[in-house]
Amino acid sequence: MKKLSVLLFAALLCANTSIDAQRKKKKNKNKTEQPAPPPKKKNGIKPYSQVITKDAKTDEGLFKVHKIDQTYFFEIKNDLLEKDMLLVSRIAKVPAGLGGGYVNAGSKTNEQVVHWVRFQNKILLKLKSYNSVAADSLAINVSVQANNYEPTLFAFDIKALSKDSSAVVVDVTKFYGTDVKAISGMPSAWRTQYKVRNLDKDRSFINRMSSYPENIEVVQDFTYNANTPPSNRSTGSISLQMNQSMILLPEEPMQPRLFDPRVGWFTTSQYDYGSEELKADRKTYLRRWRLEPKDKDAYMRGELVEPIKPIVYYLDPGTPENLRKYIKQGIEDWQQTFETAGFKNAILAKDPPTKEEDPEFSPEDIRYSVVRYVASTTRNAVGPSVSDPRSGEIIESDIIWYHNHLRSYRNRYLLETAAANPSARTLNTPDEEIGEMMRMVIAHEVGHALGFPHNMAASYAYDVESYRDGAFTQKNGIAASIMDYARYNYIAQPGDENIRFIRQIGPYDHYATNWGYRYLDANSPDAEKNTLTKWIEEKGADPQFKFGRQSSRFDPQSQTECIGNDPMKASEYGLKNLKYVATNLPKWTSDVTNNYDDLGELYGEMLGVWSRYVGHVVTNVGGVKEDLKAPNQAGTVYKHVDKNTQKLSMLWLQANAFETPKWLVDKDILQNIDHAGYFERLRRLQSRHLNGLLSFDRIGRLIDAETVNTEYYSALNMLRDLRNGLFKEVRSGRKVDIFRRNLQRSYIDRMEYLMTEDMRPSFRSRMVYNVNTSDVRALVRGELKSLRTRLRNARGGAQDTVTRYHYDDMVARIDQLLDPK
């Protein structure tokens, strides 16, 4: 019985097992059987085939770029980790009005050296600085690294290793697809200005990624939600397209060339803590292209030799066909200066490649230097560049030309040269002359892109009378360098013949190109120094080879828009011409067009021309001449303008600036271009120059001059001469007209400023001093007391009621200022 029970239990168990198995089989009949997942690696790194699947689209280049649906991966070879790369962020497409008119397609927003670093199972993209350096072999390098720790721009998880483990794979979608501030085209100032709330993820995406042998190009489309966008306000958003370029920097940096301030160059600097100096040695290098001769032996024999890699500029595909030849000429005008440096065909201009020639051509691609043609109402052109901070080597540059810029040149051509130049007496300037202007603007901007800053002393190299000599101007142009702001010959007078009115490349440009670009067979920057110094000293006495800094706003030798070596005489000629133009302006504009638009525009710009001529003479007063030189050269670096020149300049200003220039107040013009504001326009212009004379830094320089030589023109001399001229009606008893009344009240306002305000640091002046402890307040108080006495005496004899009221008002203002209680 017991045995039977056991058998029955066994049979029942088998039956139940069979039934359960059938049920499970039936239940799973419609399910697809899944293979067991492979075990995950503890470090999170997956097999390559699971990350870069058969669906991936791959672009070979510096890195392999893989795209799977909307996810992007970089496959970075291990031997590219720790390598220096330049990450350049540019705006590729821009909405109208963003940034106030000086932001365009092609504008660079950031430039930074980065490298990819492995840390455990992550890849870090780290910013790298060369501001502080020391050789790896030196112990102090450890301290340099510790005290200049590199920020991490982004951290990427390693998703996989390549099949042979020679590369790492990282997902870069988030880095390029979200609002990463380090590469954003939306800086903090714009976020505040346009009240940007956030990046709209649904309307932002990676447009494309392309990999080339030495660079990666990424195009991003970003849309930001903003309360006050610069255009299309009803959308409440700002859309822009960004281009991110990452280029591998040369394994062997170009040999730097040491900077000397006596020759103008854009530069890059670093502090060398490995120097034998008793401090961190600040080394400054030129920013220049790497030009090396193909045939070094022939080059050293003095033969013209082509460079291994010439400088090539492409034209923007959007450049109007009728302007292309002038742009090309402006670029290749620099070939002559490179020949002086021993190179032929060193700089070339090319049309943009067609789609068939290069389907991937993009002006934002860092492989190409491009002259960008920008459809914008902005009137300007610029020549920025991208450089390697290790050596100063220029990697790429874009020249930016704004469409409306030729309008400025047409207007100034008419205003500044039409008196002596009949072809400028029209709104329809001949095409060849407009083309020549554009050519020289492009040449100027290319000069910037080659490494040259403005040289404001170049126009001071020539005698004023030489500008009236046709043979001289045809040979030498109007300045010793195209890099000066000397656009037109405004000195030449009616009847002068064969005059060149437009600037051109000059002798300084040849000299500076040779100094910076000539290949020297030397193994270090220091080994070149003696040769470079010798070349400077050989030219030291010739004003054609002088460099004048744009920042030298105190130096009458280095002024923007000024030509000739005597600002008073040059401005005298300029005003003669401008008076002729003012008389004929309606005839050349509104009489031809039958509307007043051009007349109004040119009249406004004519006031600006008048103001520039006056400003050139103002600089003489309290002026200090700067002549950069080494101790072994004769003379001092700084020298105050002589007393006689300053005194004569004050007389000139009284006669031409502060005596009412009634020829500018032409009712036939004013009453046809505006209904009001006639007296205020002139007051603003005159007050600008009055305030310039009565500035803390100018008075401070005049006080400084007394500490060097009591025979110099003093602050008291200047203040007395100014007061006596501005208030000459007080002595003569004459009626004071409305323009003079406005100017005299502006004088009181400015004296109040000098009495009550403190000096603030300014980019216009490096001079800051304690005004309260200086002579300034005492001098101003004394001048106001003297003026008050004369006004009190004169008001009883005033010839008209308004003049008497005016004197009463000024006395009351001075009383309030001197005794506020």
pLDDT value for 15 = 47
pLDDT value for 459 = 95
pLDDT value for 13 = 44
pLDDT value for 701 = 95
Alpha-carbon distance of 446 to 320, in angstroms, equals 19
Domain boundaries, the chain: 51-248, 290-409, 676-821
Q: What is the mean pLDDT of the chain?
A: 90
Categorize the per-residue pLDDT at 33 as very low, low, confident or very high, splitting at 50, 70 and 90.
low
Model confidence over 424-448: pLDDT tens digits? 999 999 999 999 999 999 999 999 9
pLDDT value for 272 = 82
Model confidence over 729-788: pLDDT tens digits? 998 888 999 999 999 999 999 999 999 998 877 655 667 889 999 999 999 999 999 999
Has residue 10 got a pLDDT over 60? no
| Angle, alpha carbons 290-293-295 (nearest 5°) | 160
How far from 482 is each of 19, 407, 421, 456, CA to CA, in Å?
99, 20, 21, 10
Categorize the per-residue pLDDT at 226 as very low, low, confident or very high, splitting at 50, 70 and 90.
very high
Q: Label residues 43-82 b or e (16+ Cβ within 10 Å = b).
A: eebbebeebbeeebeeeeebbbbbbbeebbbbbbeeeeee
pLDDT value for 195 = 94
- Percentage, residues of the chain above pLDDT 90: 74
Has residue 20 got a pLDDT over 60? no
Alpha-carbon distance of 497 to 580, in angstroms, equals 18
The pTM score is 0.89
Q: Label residues 285-303 b or e (16+ Cβ within 10 Å = b).
A: bbbbbbbebeeeeebeeee
pLDDT value for 764 = 58
Summarize the confidence of residues 218-238 as an average pLDDT. Answer: 93
Categorize the per-residue pLDDT at 19 as very low, low, confident or very high, splitting at 50, 70 and 90.
very low
pLDDT value for 420 = 98
- Percentage, residues of the chain above pLDDT 70: 94
Has residue 265 got a pLDDT over 70? yes
Summarize the confidence of residues 245-265 as an average pLDDT. Answer: 96
Question: 619 CB contacts (<8 Å, ≥6 apart)?
Answer: 553, 554, 555, 556, 559, 567
Nearest in space to 84 (alpha carbons), one of 140, 146, 130 = 130
pLDDT value for 4 = 41
Q: In the numeric block, which tokens belong to residue 130?
A: 């060369």
Alpha-carbon distance of 325 to 439, in angstroms, equals 9
pLDDT value for 42 = 54
Model confidence over 776-794: pLDDT tens digits? 999 999 999 999 999 999 9
How far from 543 is each of 401, 555, 631, CA to CA, in Å?
31, 15, 19
Q: What is the 3-state secondary structure (H, E, C) of 478-525?
A: CCCCCCCCCCECCCCCCCCCCCCCECCCCHHHHHHHHHHHCCCCCCCH
Model confidence over 462-505: pLDDT tens digits? 999 999 999 999 999 999 999 999 999 999 999 999 999 999 99
Has residue 34 got a pLDDT over 80? no
Has residue 271 got a pLDDT over 90? no
202 DSSP assignment: G
Summarize the confidence of residues 123-128 as an average pLDDT. Answer: 95
Model confidence over 796-817: pLDDT tens digits? 888 789 999 999 999 999 999 9
Has residue 125 got a pLDDT over 90? yes
Categorize the per-residue pLDDT at 172 as very low, low, confident or very high, splitting at 50, 70 and 90.
very high
Alpha-carbon distance of 165 to 168, in angstroms, equals 7
Categorize the per-residue pLDDT at 398 as very low, low, confident or very high, splitting at 50, 70 and 90.
confident
